[in-house]
Amino acid sequence: MSLLDQVELRSDRLTVAADLGAPDLVRFEGVRKSYDGIHFVVDNLDLQVRHGEFLTMLGPSGSGKTTTLMMLGGFERPTLGRILLGGRSVERLPPEKRNIGFVFQNYALFPHMTVAENIAFPLRYRGITGAAAAQKVALALDMVRLGSFGDRRPAQLSGGQQQRVALARALVFEPSLVLMDEPLGALDKQLRERMQIEIKHLQTSLGITMVYVTHDQSEALTMSDRVAVFHEGRIQQIADPRTLYDRPENRFVAEFVGENNVMACTLVSVEGERATVRTEGGTILQGMLPKALDREQDMILAIRPERLALTEGAIPNFHNAIRGQVEEMFFLGDHVRLSVSMTGGGRIVARIPASETRAFLPGESVTLACRVDDCRLLGS
């Protein structure tokens, strides 16, 4: 039985609760945010967050993702537009009235309080004390696997344990929504990857709606039901992780999410969804042409490095062949990174499983092959 099934954590002091009949828990409608009245750090944002969804806002620094999170949490007010939570407009509602849990990068734990006291803090604010609060705190500690740590101080915990305490504190009062701003940024790589899985498992098992901010693409792809990619205050694309990775809609998404070989090209011919193009170096290749792409505009061809394979035999009709000479080769454990100077000009990088290749010397001739379906044409 989950925490939500075992304990009723609502309080009549809360102003906003989830309306399960509403199509979305969160809606941004034409939201804009400016600090100087001239430049918009968030510009004309329309975004919906579904009940029980794990949505990640991904983007570089200054892209508007954290400002969007702060507006949803009530720490910033939009300059224009509406934000709806549970079907109600909340632009002027303070954070403490929104029934939202928060987890930040620095965890914001009170050093003079024990773990149990830290977790109980939002309950005390809501008028829940005594045995009722103790029961809720105990359940929250068990939920994050810290049942025997209630009497410790934050300074006595590891970074991963502190992160769990912050998560338990955000969940203990059963919020309608949990916001997380770079919560794993201070952890080392191995612990960060382990915590990604733990947070996702917890979110799925409890059915909680989470909105998560990060600049780490692998983190976003690992944890999310959907990812909204931000750039210059606008969402460039929002999709599930596989769609985002396999079918980016523009150059920014193709280059920001994972690694991509991007080559300027000109259109030669079109047959159905496939197009033949010529790269700047003169290589003739085929790629998938989105229906929405204007055929008159400048184009690029994007190919993921792991979709390229070394070949010495005949190339099937549905594959592209790219010939060139090896520039550099790096062994990276499970795979080899091969940098190839394309015949006629240009450079391409391939990521080949280490078991499927041998050592190459600079200058050796190689042929790379990839499926046409793995080559995407995008506007430049």
Examine the domain organization and report whether 264 and 331 are in the same domain: yes
For residue 20, what pLDDT is reported?
47
For residue 12, what pLDDT is reported?
31
Nearest to 7 by CA among 215, 206, 296, 201: 206
Examine the domain organization and report whether 296 and 365 are in the same domain: yes
Nearest to 26 by CA among 171, 176, 172: 176
Indicate the residue among 223, 246, 269 that finishes a domain.
Answer: 246
pLDDT tens track for 35-51: 998 999 999 999 999 99
In a domain, 251, yes or no: no
For residue 21, what pLDDT is reported?
52
Domain total of the chain: 2
pLDDT tens track for 290-318: 888 887 888 999 999 999 999 887 777 77
Examine the domain organization and report whether 231 and 272 are in the same domain: no
In a domain, 252, yes or no: no
Examine the domain organization and report whether 240 and 299 are in the same domain: no
Tell me the pLDDT band of 5, cut-offs 50, 70 and 90.
Answer: very low
For residue 345, what pLDDT is reported?
86
Tell me the pLDDT band of 126, cut-offs 50, 70 and 90.
Answer: confident
Tell me the pLDDT band of 4, cut-offs 50, 70 and 90.
Answer: very low
In a domain, 104, yes or no: yes
| 134 burial level (CB within 10 Å; 0-12, 13-18, 19+) | middle
Are 304 and 259 in contact by the 8 Å Cβ rule? The answer is yes
Examine the domain organization and report whether 279 and 167 are in the same domain: no
Distance CA 94, CA 380 (A): 42
Mean pLDDT, to the nearest integer, of 334-344? Answer: 93
Q: Is the pLDDT of residue 6 over 70?
A: no
- The per-residue DSSP string of 304-359 comes to -GGG-EE--SPPPTTEEEEEEEEEEEEE-SSEEEEEEEETTS-EEEEEEEGGG---
Which residue type, as a one-letter code, is found at position 120?
A
Are 164 and 149 in contact by the 8 Å Cβ rule? The answer is no
Q: Is the pLDDT of residue 57 over 80?
A: yes
Q: What is the CATH number of the domain that holds 275?
A: 2.40.50.140
Are 162 and 107 in contact by the 8 Å Cβ rule? The answer is yes
| 177 burial level (CB within 10 Å; 0-12, 13-18, 19+) | buried
Q: Is the pLDDT of residue 342 over 70?
A: yes
Find the helix or strand (DSSP H, E) in which 377 lies: strand 375-379
Examine the domain organization and report whether 325 and 201 are in the same domain: no
Give the domain extent around 322.
Answer: 259-379
Indicate the residue among 196, 224, 246 that finishes a domain.
Answer: 246
Distance CA 161, CA 144 (A): 9
In a domain, 344, yes or no: yes
Examine the domain organization and report whether 18 and 100 are in the same domain: yes
Examine the domain organization and report whether 264 and 241 are in the same domain: no
Full-model pTM = 0.87
Q: What are phi and psi of 270, to 5 degrees?
A: -135, 135
Find the helix or strand (DSSP H, E) in which 267 lies: strand 261-271
Other C-beta atoms within 10 Å of 73: how many? 18
Examine the domain organization and report whether 157 and 97 are in the same domain: yes
Examine the domain organization and report whether 265 and 225 are in the same domain: no
Percentage of the chain modeled with pLDDT above 90: 70
Other C-beta atoms within 10 Å of 8: how many? 10
Indicate the residue among 181, 213, 246 that finishes a domain.
Answer: 246
Mean predicted lDDT score pLDDT of the chain: 89
The label of the residue with tokens 């944002």 reads 45
Q: DSSP assignment, residue 119?
A: H
For residue 10, what pLDDT is reported?
30
pLDDT tens track for 88-109: 999 989 998 899 999 988 888 9
For residue 195, what pLDDT is reported?
87
Examine the domain organization and report whether 222 and 268 are in the same domain: no
Distance of CA 117 to the CA centre of its chain: 32
The tokens describing 184, both together, are 């794993």
Q: Is the pLDDT of residue 2 over 50?
A: no
Examine the domain organization and report whether 240 and 293 are in the same domain: no
For residue 315, give Cα distances in angstroms to 312, 319, 350, 372: 9, 6, 17, 12
pLDDT tens track for 137-150: 999 999 888 999 99
Tell me the pLDDT band of 22, cut-offs 50, 70 and 90.
Answer: low
Are 283 and 346 in contact by the 8 Å Cβ rule? The answer is yes
Per-position b or e across 324-344, b if 16+ CB within 10 A of its CB: bebeebeeeeebbebbbbbee
pLDDT tens track for 201-224: 989 988 999 999 999 999 999 999
Nearest to 105 by CA among 190, 185, 18: 185
Q: What is the CATH number of the domain that holds 222?
A: 3.40.50.300
Distance CA 41, CA 35 (A): 8
Which residue type, as a one-letter code, is found at position 72?
L
